[in-house]
Amino acid sequence: MRYRNLGRTGLSVSEVGFGAWAIGGKWWGPQDDQDSRLALHEALDRGCNFIDTAWVYGDGHSEKLIGRVLKERNQPAIVATKVPPKNWNWDNRPGTPLSAAFPPDWVEQKLDESLRHLGRDTVEVLQLHTWNREWNAQAGPLLDRIARLKRSGKIRAFGISLRDRGADEANDLVRRRMVDSLQVFFNLFYQEPIKELFTLAGDYGVGLVARVPLAFGALSGRFTKATRFLGDDHRRRLYEGARLEETLHKVKALEFLKRKDRDLAESAIQWTLAFPQVSTSIPGIRNPRQARMNLRAGDGVRLTPAEVAKTRKLYPVNFGQPIRKLEAGEQAPAIFVSGVREIPAGPVPQARPKAVKPKRGKAAPKKKSRTARKKPVRPVRKAQKKAKKRGKR
């Protein structure tokens, strides 16, 4: 396993981390705790030392499983967890105050609960589980509490898990050096963070955690037309009908990334690591088989610059699939952004009528050009000559 620095935190993290959402037992269909425990053991055996979880993943269930496994092994690991918004809204509308989502007392209360779940006195990275751009200007009291939590030893670093399409929403905090890491939605199907955030994070030493590198499993290469999702699996709303068909076509366009010693899933994770600003990539892992497959990307064959360049050229043309316009105000999920052109919300600006210049009195007659002064056309003259000849006869 290869390792990278998590920004300026001083933490060295495995290139591939353990995404622990699914082992919480909610929103991913049925999950067996024994599989979860074995998956964690397999990942740790293979050199993975970064585990990303959240209070809301099973209301602490994911955290408890992680705590038990780490206690069994008596092994150190870098754990990142997340505080849920107090209003339980992960997509707060503009105008919602930061105090409604993350009041300082709530943040500390949920941190204490997470520490009890994990059976630890310290969590290496505490993250807020959503963010809005306008909260940057309201963050003073919250950041004061974060600084106090660092001094007390409860946390070592502070981060934000940004919204799926909110890669640039905490850029002001980055410039003010008030955030140590950002977790960002980033994969072959959603390349928007490259445009602005990556340069900024590199300049200010902020560690980036790439989440959903396999696009919720679509980039594993295992989806087919018959793929269906059961129970509370949130992917039921994403991959069905025309969207599933479009996804399969896009995956086919990326098959050039596969090699004998590297399947598509490994290539997709490797792609996120092709950017030095990314400290770690955290595919979801729910059983030992997935742990073995996904962690290969942390020591396998890297993508070539030519392969990375080709994937970036495919993105703006939607991997060869049609691009459609959305209605004003309508938004596409992050993984389908390359396939749409969105019309900004709000009134559509009307085209200005052409200005008519007012008349300033009678204009002087224009001089006729030479062509205009010419005598009648020759055919008339010919007709006159013929008439004269007939008269003479």
> What does the pLDDT look like over 139-190, one tens digit per residue?
999 999 999 999 999 999 999 999 999 999 999 999 999 999 999 999 999 9
Neighbours of 122 (CB within 10 A): 13
The owner of tokens 């993508």 is 303
User: At 127, which amino acid appears?
Assistant: Q
Q: What confidence score (pLDDT) does residue 38 get? A: 96
The end-to-end CA distance of the chain, in Å, is 115
Q: Taking 60 as the threshold, does the pLDDT of residue 109 lie above it?
A: yes
Sequence-distant (6+) residues with CB within 8 A of 230 are 29, 30
How far is it, in rounded angstroms, from Cα 173 to Cα 128? Answer: 13
Q: Which of 304, 220, 308 is nearest to 264 (CA)?
A: 220
Lowest-pLDDT range, 4-13, 21-30, 66-75?
Answer: 21-30
379 in a structural domain: no
> For residue 350, is it within any domain?
no
Question: Which tens digit of pLDDT belongs to each residue from 257-304?
Answer: 998 888 999 999 999 999 999 999 999 999 999 999 999 999 988 999
Q: CATH code at 161?
A: 3.20.20.100
Region of 362 please: left (phi>0), alpha (psi -120 to 50) or beta.
beta
- Read off the tokens for 22: 């699914």
Number of residues in the chain: 393
Look at residue 272 and tell me if it is in a domain.
yes
Q: Which tokens go with 288?
A: 């030992």
Instruction: State residue 154's pLDDT score.
Output: 98
pLDDT above 90 (res 29):
no
Residue 22, domain member (yes or no): yes
pLDDT attached to residue 83: 98
User: Which of 14-28, 157-171, 345-359, 366-380 is modeled with the greatest confidence?
Assistant: 157-171
- The count of domains in the chain is 1
Long-range contacts (CB closer than 8 Å, 24 or more residues apart) made by 355-364: none
DSSP 8-state class, residue 157? E
Residue 126 has a pLDDT of 98
In a domain, 367, yes or no: no
Q: What is the mean pLDDT of the chain?
A: 89
- pTM for this predicted structure: 0.84
Dist CA 181 CA 174 (whole Å): 9
What confidence tier does 329 reach under pLDDT thresholds 50, 70, 90?
Answer: confident
Considering the domain boundaries, does residue 109 fall inside one? yes
Q: Contact, 178 vs 150, CB < 8 A?
A: no
State the pLDDT at residue 27.
Answer: 66
Domain span at 119: 3-304
pLDDT band at 349 (very low <50, low <70, confident <90, very high): low
Query: In whole angstroms, how far apart are CA 125 and each of 81, 134, 141, 215, 376?
Result: 7, 23, 19, 24, 93
The DSSP symbol for 159 reads E
> For residue 66, how many C-alpha atoms fall within 13 Å in the half-sphere facing its CB?
36
Whole-angstrom distance, CA of residue 280 vs CA of residue 269: 10
Please check whether residue 122 lies inside any domain of the structure. Answer: yes
CA distances from 219 to 5, 283, 345 (A): 26, 11, 31
- Whether 375 has a pLDDT exceeding 60, the answer reads no
- Residue 369's identity, in one-letter code, is S
Q: What is the pLDDT of residue 240?
A: 86
Among residues of the chain, what percentage have pLDDT more than 90?
73
354 within a domain of the structure (yes/no): no
